[in-house]
Chain A
Amino acid sequence: MKVLVCLCQVCDGEAAFSIAPDGLSVVPSERVAWRMNRYDEFALEEALRLKDSGIAQRVDALSVGPLRTLSTLRKALETGADDAALIRLDRPAFPAEKAGLIASHAAGREYDLILAGVMSEQGLSGATGPMIAACLGIPFATAALRLEAGPLARLVRVEREIDSATREAFTLTLPALVTVQSGINRPRYPSLSNVMRAKTQEIGIIDPAPPAAFQETPASAVYRMPDRGHAGLIIRGTAGEAAEELYRWLHGRSLL
């Protein structure tokens, strides 16, 4: 089995950012740390487990993004991916466009299974995975909490999450795409031998042809900071002062 894992790079959730004056982009602060999307770490681990058990022979990692994304692909190699490639795109893109680019790359490369995280922590849309499957015309399942594959059968069995108490199971004929929910496994740390191997390994950089597939976008997309909500009490100060103030607040509402 040949497995493709789609990885995206996100900035840390605590990182400072601002919105460009024209509202068309979010600008993270310069010192922001970029890392692999956590949901994709689970997808990569699931692929590597298929390889460990002899079901997958090869695990390739693929990203769409600017050159800084190479560090995330390097991390994937260090963690155990066999090969990595970057579809270079220097501007932000909607999931539909990313899916079109990934699908055109994957088409003809005979992947049996394409894995991705259920969503990006940053974009929160969860759309890229199923859109790749739709572009390729292959079956898919999202939010998998269990993935079973055999060495011979051209099938995978997936249990996807409905809520914390309910799942539903599907058997998908390969080739197929599965997005992985967090908690399906415990992602591993890079091994020393893989870190050494990854140091010298080349990562292919692909300049994308305009995707033949799907690129529908809204008439306009403008970022803004959310309203402050109902502007509740904000408590600052030393731990002791803050504790006193919260106590008074709770006491005033008969909660303590």
Chain B
Amino acid sequence: MASRKVPVVSDSDKKILVCGETAGRTLDSMTIEAVACAERAAEMTGASVTLALPCADVHEFDIMSGGGINVIALTNPLLKLYSAAGYIAAMERAVRETSPELVLIPGTSRGNDFAPALAVRLGAVFVPGVASLKEDGGSLVFTRSCWHGKAEMELKQAPGLTVATIQPGSFAGPAHRRVRAMVHEIKIDLAIGDTVPEGEIRAVGEADSGLRNAEVIVSAGRGIGRVENLALLEETASLFARSAVGASRPVCDYGWLPYGRQIGQTGKQVSPKLYMACGISGSPQHIAGMKSSANIVAVNIDPEAPIFRYAHAGVVADLTEFLRAFIDLVREKKKTGR
């Protein structure tokens, strides 16, 4: 099974290498997104796509792909557990094997951990958090969010090697067809170095926040100002059936709500019928957790808050004044039968 030679599906010189994370025998959802992003880039530049999987042992993976894709497994028993050092060593080897111009890494917790250091090791340009792609004069142009999520930066790919991470939720599209790809194994050498992984720790007894089954989520951000104002959000939520109160990360960091209520890239990903963002500015990390909601309402005092770009209805107002008026109005309407 061990093979040193990577077959070439496309005869193009240009190559894109995607780093995948595996969850058992399936690829995790962010890897599928990264492949989708790579295939979009490949359409623009005529490049071929290779998926590199650092893993402990090789087996067949089901891969969602739009077409032909090369898969290489970089194997070593130590890769059973994630470590930045292990993934960097594996991806350095994958880059030597394939000589790509672009390495795409899912913007997961782990991807964000090792990708910047991999870029330094490879002497590559690093582009974090790619949200969209376009082509300009034969080069790729990456768009990413910056300046508190209020501005965007367009970065044109330089000659040489670029390492980029992908902002979760940006390239999720219609599911590709399932292909069973041939996996070529490359055994790599690794030693236990100065980073020793212990493995995953799962939080126990996390209270059910009710977020998963809620049809309406009223969510609190830093802009609620004081913990006392949470009562207003709970009252607002109580106006709707099957509702729950969620939060952005800072509200949980302040200890105002438990982390089980956190919505975003590092919290829960939700898609209720109605998502009402109260005092949430809309960082890319938060948007990643709620942007697929059917209806998004944002209430914020700052008309430039990025959340308004995603809102189907946006209220520019002082939050507490508005919510008090809204609660009174809805109660009145309910009492009088509308």
Task: Determine the distance from Cα of A240 to Cα of B332 in the docked complex, in whole angstroms.
Answer: 13
Contacts of A95 in B (CB 8 A): 116, 126, 128
For residue B191, CB closer than 8 A to chain A, the reply is: no
Which of B2-10, B39-47, B153-161, B180-188 is near enough to bind chain A? B153-161
Known: A170-B83, A251-B338. 6 other contacts (CB 8 A): A38-B250, A183-B249, A218-B156, A226-B150, A229-B310, A234-B308
For residue A153, CB closer than 8 A to chain B, the reply is: no
Q: Does the CB pair B197–A169 fall under 8 Å?
A: yes
Q: Does the CB pair B325–A224 fall under 8 Å?
A: no
Residues 123-182 of A contacting B (Cβ, < 8 Å): 123-131, 133-135, 138-143, 159-173, 176, 181-182
Q: Which has the most chain B C-beta neighbours within 10 Å: A138, A172, A176?
A: A172
For residue B281, CB closer than 8 A to chain A, the reply is: yes
| Contact of B195 (CB < 8 Å), options: A14, A126, A172, A223 | A172
- 8 interchain residue pairs of minimum CB distance: A229-B309, A134-B120, A173-B194, A127-B116, A134-B117, A239-B325, A125-B128, A169-B198
Q: Does the CB pair A123–B154 fall under 8 Å?
A: no
Contact count A vs B, C-beta below 8 Å: 277
Which of A77-85, A107-115, A241-249 is near enough to bind chain B? A241-249
For residue A232, CB closer than 8 A to chain B, the reply is: yes
0/1 string, B291-313, CB within 8 A of A gives 1: 00001110000111010111111
Q: Does the CB pair B125–A218 fall under 8 Å?
A: yes
Contacts of A242 in B (CB 8 A): 315, 317, 322, 325-326
For residue B69, CB closer than 8 A to chain A, the reply is: no
Q: Does the CB pair B146–A236 fall under 8 Å?
A: no
Given A142-B112, A234-B316, A235-B316, A165 and B117 touching (CB < 8 A)? no
**Minimum CB distance partner of B167 in chain A:** A124
For residue B123, CB closer than 8 A to chain A, the reply is: yes
For residue A91, CB closer than 8 A to chain B, the reply is: no
0/1 string, A60-81, CB within 8 A of B gives 1: 0000000000000000000000
Q: Does the CB pair B206–A122 fall under 8 Å?
A: no
**Minimum CB distance partner of A227 in chain B:** B309
Task: Determine the distance from Cα of A256 to Cα of B334 in the docked complex, in whole angstroms.
Answer: 10
**Minimum CB distance partner of B315 in chain A:** A235
For residue B330, CB closer than 8 A to chain A, the reply is: yes
Cβ distance B105 to chain A, nearest Cβ, rounded Å? 12
For residue B239, CB closer than 8 A to chain A, the reply is: yes
Residues 182-238 of A contacting B (Cβ, < 8 Å): 182-183, 186, 213-214, 216-230, 232-236
Task: Determine the distance from Cα of A77 to Cα of B152 in the docked complex, in whole angstroms.
Answer: 34
For residue B196, CB closer than 8 A to chain A, the reply is: yes
| Contact of B152 (CB < 8 Å), options: A217, A226, A230 | A226
Cβ distance B241 to chain A, nearest Cβ, rounded Å? 10
Q: Is the interface of A mostly helix, strand, loop or mixed?
A: mixed
0/1 string, B259-280, CB within 8 A of A gives 1: 1101000111000011000000
Q: Does the CB pair B309–A226 fall under 8 Å?
A: yes
Q: Does the CB pair A223–B117 fall under 8 Å?
A: no
| Contact of B116 (CB < 8 Å), options: A134, A183, A218, A230 | A134
For residue B193, CB closer than 8 A to chain A, the reply is: yes
Residues 82-128 of A contacting B (Cβ, < 8 Å): 94-96, 99, 121-128
0/1 string, B318-331, CB within 8 A of A gives 1: 10011011101110
Q: Does the CB pair B117–A176 fall under 8 Å?
A: no
Q: Does the CB pair A232–B329 fall under 8 Å?
A: no
Contacts of B210 in A (CB 8 A): none
Contacts of A216 in B (CB 8 A): 119, 123-126, 158, 160
23 contacts between A and B (CB under 8 A): A125-B146, A131-B120, A138-B194, A139-B85, A140-B84, A141-B84, A164-B203, A164-B268, A166-B203, A170-B197, A171-B198, A214-B120, A216-B124, A218-B162, A219-B159, A220-B154, A230-B312, A234-B308, A235-B315, A235-B316, A242-B317, A256-B240, A256-B330
For residue A31, CB closer than 8 A to chain B, the reply is: no
For residue A33, CB closer than 8 A to chain B, the reply is: no
Task: Determine the distance from Cα of A99 to Cα of B121 in the docked complex, in whole angstroms.
Answer: 13
Contacts of B253 in A (CB 8 A): 182-183
**Minimum CB distance partner of A235 in chain B:** B315
| Contact of A166 (CB < 8 Å), options: B153, B158, B201 | B201
Contacts of A161 in B (CB 8 A): 109, 266
Given A165-B202, A170-B83, A222-B154, A17 and B197 touching (CB < 8 A)? no
Q: Does the CB pair B313–A233 fall under 8 Å?
A: yes
Q: Does the CB pair A123–B325 fall under 8 Å?
A: no
Q: Does the CB pair A168–B198 fall under 8 Å?
A: yes
Q: Does the CB pair B325–A243 fall under 8 Å?
A: yes
For residue B127, CB closer than 8 A to chain A, the reply is: yes
